[in-house]
Amino acid sequence: MTLPSTAREIRLASRPVGFPTPEDFALAEVAVPAIGDGQLLVRNRVMSVDPYMRGRMNAGKSYVAPYEVGKALEGGAVGEVVASEAAGFEVGDTVLHGFGWRDYAAVDAAHATKVDPEAAPLAAYLGVLGMPGMTAYVGLLEVAAFREGDVVFVSGAAGAVGQVAGQIARLRGAKRVIGSAGSDAKVAYLLDELGFDAAFNYKDGPVGELLAQAAPEGVDVYFDNVGGEHLEAAIDSFNDFGRAALCGSISNYNTTTPTGVRNLGLAVGKRLSLRGFLVLDHGDVREAFLREVGGWVASGELRYRETVTDGLERAPEAFIGMLRGENLGKALVTL
């Protein structure tokens, strides 16, 4: 295979204030990277855009280093190995790694995972069978300690994580699964395709009132992708000993005036458990996740959608659209 001498990457041009704009990104032409011992050169085929990336665009200490202005962004990607200086990897292998936002990536073999393009579409390894799917599995079963017969509420339920979390609850025997989403079309998707028992458009009124109507018997488990008003509503609706898996707070990612939770005092009398988590701390359940969720996907019992944008140059557009809720299911970019 003859490789080109140059390739493209998307860089962070400036740190966003509020919602990112196209001017916060820059498309640059660079030399195709050389690889050293123990490395792979990967031609990326599909890359992921995810809500957590917005936090990495801010300066300051967090659980992962912030992106650097003037340098390429990073994120999940699946691609083809086009050169290898690492034992156990050959040209033609397909790998999952963390250096998206570019055409070609030099990847340490220790940070690459082989995937089977015959077993599932490449995009699935970035969505339902990847980090978002495992986040749903870990959050519901490990963090929120879901039990058969629970009433489960999932916010952002038509997104990459939420669409899987709600279905895991249903397939594991939830008494009632409730989802919130930002459009009537997404609500219809939750009810008609994914089998949610109830769903509401959070733009139709106060979230607390909408949730109370959807969950007349209260909520036992809350999978939180949104924070803010949604978390406050869940605390109001929780039954005693309710459990929340705090996965994300996208309602506050792009604002300079974040909203808080005013009713946290109820957590005392209701004896609630509100626990934040990161999926990277739960690698020990990966095999169980792939076995169970992979089986449901193969059988058609668990369904999912993807919103795919074509072209690396459109990755910023896809990312901004995802933050604005324009995606249904997992947001991806094909290269």
For residue 4, how many other CB atoms are within 10 A of its CB?
10
Residue 182 shares a structural domain with residue 256: yes
CB 142 within 8 A of CB 226: no
pLDDT of amino acid 256: 85
Residues 54 and 119 in one domain: yes
Q: Do 115 and 137 share a structural domain?
A: no
Distance CA 324, CA 307 (A): 13
For residues 187 and 315, membership in a common domain is answered with no
Tell me 88's DSSP state. Answer: T
Tell me, yes or no, whether 285 lies in a domain.
no
- 145 and 276 part of one domain: yes
Tell me whether residue 211 is in a domain. Answer: yes
Confidence at residue 258, expressed as pLDDT on a 0 to 100 scale: 87
Same domain, 318 and 243: no
Regarding whether 272 and 163 lie in a shared domain, the answer is yes
In order along its 335 residues, the chain shows pLDDT tens digits of 789 999 999 999 999 999 999 999 999 999 999 999 999 999 999 999 999 999 999 998 888 999 999 999 999 999 999 999 999 999 999 999 999 999 999 999 999 999 999 999 999 999 999 999 999 999 999 999 999 999 999 999 999 999 999 999 999 999 999 999 999 999 999 999 999 999 999 999 999 999 999 999 999 999 999 999 999 999 999 999 999 999 999 999 998 888 889 999 999 999 999 999 999 999 999 999 999 999 999 999 999 999 999 999 999 999 999 999 999 999 999 99
pLDDT computed for residue 2 by the predictor: 86
Residue 1 within a domain: no
Q: Please indicate, yes or no, whether residues 137 and 257 belong to a single structural domain of this protein.
A: yes
Specify the pLDDT at position 259.
85
Cα 170 to Cα 32: distance, rounded to the nearest angstrom: 46
Q: DSSP labels for 30-70?
A: EEPPP--TTEEEEEEEEEE--THHHHHTS-S--SSPPPPTT
Place of tokens 């202005």: 69
316 found inside a domain: yes
Sign (positive/negative) of CA torsion 320, 326, 331, 335?
Answer: negative
pLDDT of residue 255: 87
User: Domain for residue 300, yes or no?
Assistant: no
Q: How far apart are CA 315 and CA 94, in angstroms?
A: 21
Task: Indicate which CATH number applies to the domain containing 199.
Answer: 3.40.50.720
Please state, in angstroms and rounded to a whole number, the distance separating the CA atoms of residues 118 and 88: 19
Q: What is the pTM of this model?
A: 0.95
Task: For residue 194, tell me if it sits in a domain.
Answer: yes
- Which are the contacts of 173, defined by CB distance < 8 A and separation ≥ 6? 148, 149
- In 3D, which of 127, 178, 79, 119 has the Cα closest to residue 328? 127
**Which of these, 30, 23, 24, lies nearest to 9 by C-alpha position?**
30
**CATH code of the domain in which 83 resides:** 3.90.180.10
Distance, in Å, from the CA atom of 330 to the CA atom of 305, rounded to the nearest integer, reads: 7
Angstrom distances, CA of residue 302 to CA of 58, 101, 125, 161, 195? 35, 29, 15, 13, 10
**Identity of residue 50:** D
Number of domains, the chain? 2
Q: What residues contact residue 122 under an 8 Å CB cut-off, 6+ apart?
A: 45, 46, 78, 94, 115
The CA radius of gyration of the chain, in Å to the nearest whole number, is: 20
Q: Is the dihedral of CA 62, 65, 69, 75 positive or negative?
A: negative
Does 147 share its domain with 233? yes
Q: Do 122 and 155 belong together in one domain?
A: no
Residue 298 lies in a domain: no
Tell me if residue 301 falls in helix, strand or coil. Answer: coil
Statement to judge: residues 153 and 84 lie in one domain: no
Domain extent for 138? 131-280
Residue 287 maps to a domain: no
Residue 31: per-residue pLDDT: 97
- Tell me the C-alpha distance between 276 and 222, whole Å: 12
Q: Are residues 260 and 141 in the same domain?
A: yes
